[in-house]
Structure 1
Amino acid sequence: MEQSKKRRLNFGMAGVIWALAWPTMLEQLMQTAVQYIDTAMVGSLGTQATAAVGATTTLNWLVGSTISAVGVGFLAFIAKALGAGEKDSAKRAASQAVLSVLAVGIVVTVITVGLSGQIPKWMQVDEGIRDLAGQYFLILYLPMLFRTASTIFGTVLRAAGDTKSPMKIGVVVNLVNVVLNFLLIYPTRELTVFSFTFTMWGADLGVIGAAVASAIAYIVGGILITIVLWRHPSVSPKGQSLKPDMKIIKPCLRVAMPNMLQHFGTSLGYVAFASMINALGDVSTAAHTIANTVESAFYIPGYGMQTAAATLAGNAYGANDGKRLKELARMFFPIEIALMIFSGAALFFAAPALVSIFSDSEEVIRLGTTVLRMVAVSEPFFGFSIIMEGMMQGVGETKRPFVYNIVGMWLVRIVGTFICTGFFDLGLVAAWACMIAHNLFLFVLFLICYAKGRWNPFRKVREA
């Protein structure tokens, strides 16, 4: 009887996990599809255009992940509040998220726009494409307030269990981006569809057109997600004060700050990593950019499940249900690892065809395929780390992931890449080998953390 009850509980929990995870996966799949299309469209303009767009990609990760860390603080607070049945606290936290969007969005806009001319130099971008890379970056960061709203408000909605609204908005944003890319990147030309030939207008803006298309899409997304949050029954900030509320801000910051420092430190590492690769030349930069784009699609199962893990762990923590928290962990890991084994195998076999979508250079295709097949083998190990980190974010434990990620990034990936490329001239393959070593290092640390129960806040209660 007990066994039957437990089985029903597991199936019920699996359904909840899937209901939360699939919209996030689909949203990320759409984003990745558009990233594929963007890269392919720009790639048709030549290797230099691809390099100009990709040269500052890691800096985009730095800014984006630092902002998303702010959202993690609100995710932990709101998921815990709703798990405890404290709906008013969740709404007050949403109003503080609005305040954070205004403050963070304005500050980041001023900094990124002001430094847009210098960033390509710091990234060691080739002088021939430096001005173009700077213009692309500037246009991309002018609507930073809207981008911040999309990131933080999207996290607030997911913390409330609403993963479908961000997904739907993501679909709209991606469609806007693709249509505008089609109109702004290319010149006016003759097109043939089903034997019907017609003149298609085009602005012929090239890389700049791609930036303008993305900027407009960001604005649309920021406006739509703000409207959805305002109307949401559980986390609408309507009627709440926008004055700073330290009772909410302090616990959110306790979770957000280590996560923010982690993302800032690791993303800064990505910048250093990319600058070393940029110094290897256009072919390595293009292959690295394309490989990153291709690889991102195969992380979708991992990060989709991470959102569900963080939300459900926060709910269980708020409900003071240690048994449910442990059951969630036991269910998430096998599901996640199975998904990542499947995605890793697909990446390994599909790598040549996928890289060839974005470039017709044999050298770029060969190099991109090699590094993708290398990283495909490490996907299941990385998947474990993603879920463990998500569970820890949900219960507000962000200090250990901060330490693990900073040490792994700087002592394993950056130092290793610096030695391999700077002293032994081993090129892109060696740099990606260092990246894989970083992922395996994180797997070992998170596995030890899980085995010893250091991630579980109820462990401290039992020990006391």
Structure 2
Amino acid sequence: MRERYGSIAIWDRFFCEFARFTLLLHIQENNMLGSKKSEALLANIRNGLPMSRREKLSLIINLSIPSMLAQLTTVMMFFIDAGMVGHLGAEASASIGLIESTAWLIGSVLSASAIGFSVQVSHFIGANDFVKARQVFRHAYICEIILSLFLLAIGVAIHASLPIWLGGDAAIAGNSSSYFFVFSLTIPFLMLFHLSCDMLKCTGNMQLASAMSVLLCVLDVGFNYVFIYLFGLGVIGAALGTAMAYICTSLPVTWMTTCRNKILALKLDTIPFHWVWDYVIKSAKISFPIAVQSILMSGAQIVSTLIVAPLGNIAIAANSFAITAESLCYMPGYGIGDAATTLVGQTYGAARKDLCTSFARMTVGLGMLVMAFMGAVMYVFAPEMIGLLSPVEAIRTLGTTVLRIEAFAEPFFAASIVVYSICVGAGDTLRPAIMNLISMWCVRLTLAAWLARDYGLKGVWTAMAIELTFRGSLFLYRLFRGNWLKGLAEKPAVETLQTT
């Protein structure tokens, strides 16, 4: 027993050192890149000034690096949760893996509802109309608070039955139910954290959002260690640790966004707040396709869980760990996607069509390059990545195999992530949502159900790799065809100033 907990302590110190390193890296990165340079370049976009190719690339990198760090540290939080619980055994791991897709469903609904507001904020900032940007900002917080409380009530109501609905064994249903109950109570704080960070990104302040994500990861490590091992709460301890981390970070980042931001601080308003239904209606038009997509995509993940569940607890745990480990590789793509959404949103609001197209193509190329490299890293180090999450040999072997299958699809996964982010920045959400749904339901799930019968979890992940390649190709076609920019009129005498 002493040897076991000694190895856990070593593992825990490793992640603590990683979190400390990422925080120091963020500070160094902030000093090197400088948020003031990014602010100046973003101001050039709003003011119709020319930008060279070097300046555009510099701005993309300046916005992408902190956003990548934020995405990676967010995934590390789930990686840490899964790894700490993984050392408690296969049943504990399966209890979290069973309800993980449902938790992602709730998070994706919150995210989708916020996008409709954040896109409008980004467009108004690009048009130099900061007053309207703050008005939309106020509407966003009011609507999101109401939605998060509604989702909290639903989560609490279904937490006891959910593991049974998902086909989980009786041995893991209790822990799954308790984990989901604690998660449900955390939903309002999760909403505050991510909405505040999204609004910061709209203004181009990726640095603060990144720093808060690093802090979230550090606190998650500490609280998890206390609740899981010192208090001996196991799976429930992992849920409580994550909840405390969100509570301790969501409140300060909300204050910094609403009170300290140079563009969105509410104290800058000199006119009384009035409710404007047009902002809500426009948000709904943008968000509804994303919300439906998020529900059906997460529903597809739940169906995928149902396909995996009959394969046994080893397959459930290996699938959950592989998903978590793969997240470390595709989160840089989401980081670049965040930068693309900000840049496309502001250039779209500024009506700079050529600059908007240029940023779109450059971010997609960078995303595919980075994730191709990450795919190679994942292929080589798959045994070590799964090994950090579980000491069970059967889980490690199966997880390694499916990760290596997925590695080949990473560049096309990047294309789908970044192009989708570009479309969101332009307010083009309906067709990309349809493309995602067709690809997921008609290609991935059909293939997964067929291949799982003969090849088990390896068949499920083969279907995933094929589908991601297909989806990436569809999005690349939409990008270069240019329909996502339909309706945007070029400002006269703006892009003619562009230099090469």
Q: Which amino acid aligns with 1:355?
A: I
Q: After TM superposition, give the deviation of residue 281 of structure 1 in Å.
A: 0.7
Deviations 1:155-206 (A, max 9, x none): 11111111122222222222221111111111xxxxxxxxxxxxxxx21111
Matches within 5 A, 1:158-173: 158-173=201-216
Name the SS of the counterpart of 1:298 in structure 2.
helix
Corresponding residue of 1:236? 265
Distance 1:301 1:55 in 2: 26
Q: Which residue of 2 aligns with 1:86?
A: 129
* Matched letter for residue 94 of structure 1: F
**2:248 aligns to what?**
220
Question: In the alignment, which residue of structure 2 is the partner of 1:178?
Answer: 221
Letter in 1 for 2:320: T
Distance 1:170 1:459, change over 3 A: closer
Distance in 2 (CA, whole Å) between partners of 1:417 and 1:36 is 25
The reply on whether 1:97 has 2:140 as its aligned counterpart is yes
Partner of 2:114: 71
Question: Partner of 1:345 in structure 2?
Answer: 376
In structure 2, give the amino acid aligned to 1:393.
V
Q: Is the 8 A contact 2:91 2:172 kept in 1?
A: yes
TM-score w.r.t. the length of structure 2 is 0.85
What corresponds to 2:390 in structure 1? 359
The unaligned stretches of length 5 or more in structure 2 are: 1-49, 492-500
- 1:458 CA drift (Å): 5.0
Measure the CA separation in 2 of the matches of 1:413 and 1:242.
47
Give me the whole-angstrom Cα distance separating, in 2, the residues matched to 1:8 and 1:389: 24
Aligned to 2:474: 445
- Deviation, 1:126, is 1.4
Residue type at the aligned position of 1:449 = R
Q: Aligned with 2:484: secondary structure?
A: coil
How many Å separate the matches in 2 of 1:345 and 1:303?
18
Q: Check conservation: 1:322, 1:458, Cα contact below 8 A.
A: no
Q: Is 1:395 the equivalent of 2:423?
A: no
83-92 vs 142-151, greater mean Cα deviation: 142-151
Report the residue type matching 1:401 in the other structure.
P
How far 1:361 moved relative to its partner? 2.0
The answer to whether the 8 Å contact 1:262/1:401 transfers is no
Given the two structures, how large is their TM-score scaled by the length of structure 1?
A: 0.91
Aligned AA (1:310): T
SS in structure 2 opposite 1:107?
helix
For the 8 Å contact 1:54–1:286, the answer to whether it is kept is: yes
Three-state SS of the structure 1 residue aligned to 2:67 is helix
**Structure 1 residues 425 and 159, CA gap change in structure 2 (3 angstroms):** same
* Most deviating of 243-252 and 432-441: 243-252
Match of 1:435 among 464, 468, 474: 464
Query: 1:333 Cα shift?
Result: 2.2
Cα pair 1:141 1:215 within 8 Å, conserved? no
Q: 1:134 is aligned with what amino acid? A: S
In 2: Cα distance, 1:318 partner to 1:366 partner: 50
Aligned to 2:14: none
Q: Is this contact kept in 2: 1:310–1:393, CA < 8 A?
A: yes
Could you tell me which residue of structure 2 aligns to residue 307 of structure 1? 338
Distance between the aligned counterparts of 1:281 and 1:257, measured in 2?
36
Q: Give the aligned CA root-mean-square deviation in angstroms.
A: 1.9
Distance in 2 between the 1:321 and 1:460 partners? 8
Structure 1 distance, partners of 2:293, 2:368, is 24
Q: Please report how far the alpha carbon of residue 366 of structure 1 lies from its aligned counterpart in structure 2 after TM superposition.
A: 1.3
Which stretch of structure 1 is more off in the superposition, 272-281 or 84-93?
272-281
- Rounded to whole Å, the distance in 2 between the matches of 1:418 and 1:255 is 32
* Structure 1 residue 457 displacement after superposition: 2.6
Q: Residue 21 in 1 paired to residue 64 in 2?
A: yes
Q: Contact (CA 8 Å) 1:98, 1:242: kept in 2 or not?
A: no
Q: Which residue of 2 is the match for residue 39 of structure 1?
A: 82
Structure 1 moving runs of 4+ over 4 Å: 238-243, 458-462
CA distance in 1, matches of 2:489, 2:303: 38
Name 1:375's counterpart in structure 2. Answer: 406
Distance 1:229 1:285 in 2: 40
Aligned partner letter, 1:400 = R
CA distance in 1, matches of 2:466, 2:161: 32
- Counterpart-to-counterpart distance in 2, 1:264 and 1:401: 15
Q: Which runs of 5+ in 1 are unaligned?
A: 1-6, 187-201
- Could you tell me how far apart the structure 2 residues matched to 1:243 and 1:113 are? 34
Paired residues, number: 440
**Does 1:255 find its partner at 2:298?**
no
Distance of 2:459 and 2:61 partners within structure 1: 37
Letter paired with 1:25: M
Task: Please say if 1:128 is aligned against 2:171.
Answer: yes
Q: What is the distance in 2 between the residues matched to 1:210 and 1:151? A: 20
How far off is 1:357 after superposition?
1.2
Say whether the 8 Å CA contact 1:49–1:207 is kept in structure 2: yes
1:417 paired to 2:445: no
**Deviations 1:91-112, CA, capped at 9 Å, x for gaps:** 0011011112211111010011
Deviations 1:306-357 (A, max 9, x none): 0010111011111111110111123112211111111110001000111111
CA–CA separation in structure 2 for the residues paired with 1:97 and 1:221: 19
